[in-house]
Amino acid sequence: MKRAADRPTQRRCAADPHASSRVTARMLGVELRDQPDTGLLTFEGFASVTGVGYEMWDFFGPYTEQVVPGAFAATLAQPDLDVPLVLAHDSLRRIARTTNGSLSLDEVLTGPKTGLHVLAPELDPTDADVAYIVPKLRSGLVDEMSFRFVINSGAWSPDWMEFHIESVDIHRGDVAIVGYGANPATAGSGLRAAKSGRQVVDLADLQPYRAR
């Protein structure tokens, strides 16, 4: 794989270490369980599936991107890791958070599903945001998750048509329950980095890439 700094200028602009991104994936194996003894709810799922390509677009056409297994190892090892579980990337609509013990994150590296595993074991159903999202999760009206992150390292394939995200930083990012985002093929949101500070570039609504 070619390093990110070696990619040609006609593809995406050079990565900005101060710019964050969002990648959306359809929820896999999401469970919402009642706890009859406490009345609380448990939310469990995957915010990112690793090793699976999804199609992205830039101004020069499509390419395939994937988060590689192990990409979360360093960031999850941070002792002060601060990541909330939010609705629609809205920082004020938090329903769990790593810093107060209500959210746990780990990277699953083996088995049928690998990626960023999310567990919020004790959601309060009287919280307004929990009450809002629970019926939508149960009915299937909302079935996608997303995570906000900064790329630490990545590499292009020799033909510049596949980009592997090798390491990410999710400290002070988020994992989010989301609806449909802007399709990068139509909204032109495949340019990840912005040179004008920490601007979020929406890479939402990414569908798994399947070879024909």
Q: pLDDT tens digit string along 76-90?
A: 999 999 999 999 899
Please tell me what DSSP assigns to residue 6: G
| Residue boundaries of the structural domains of the chain | 2-7+15-29+40-203
Tell me the mean pLDDT in the region 85-106.
96
Global confidence as pTM = 0.74
* Between 121 and 97, the higher pLDDT residue: 97
> Cα(15)–Cα(163) distance, rounded to whole angstroms?
12
Q: Is the dihedral of CA 105, 118, 173, 1 positive or negative?
A: positive
Rounded Cα gap, residues 149 and 115, in angstroms: 14
Residue 96's CB is within 10 A of a number of other CB atoms, namely 24
208 vs 150, more confident:
150
Of the listed ranges 20-24, 37-41, 140-144, 149-153, the one predicted with least confidence: 20-24
| Helix or strand run (H / E) with residue 123 | strand 115-123
Question: From CA 84, how far away is CA 100, in angstroms rounded?
Answer: 10
Helix (H, G, I), strand (E, B) or coil at 131: helix
Q: How far apart are CA 57 and CA 108, in angstroms?
A: 28
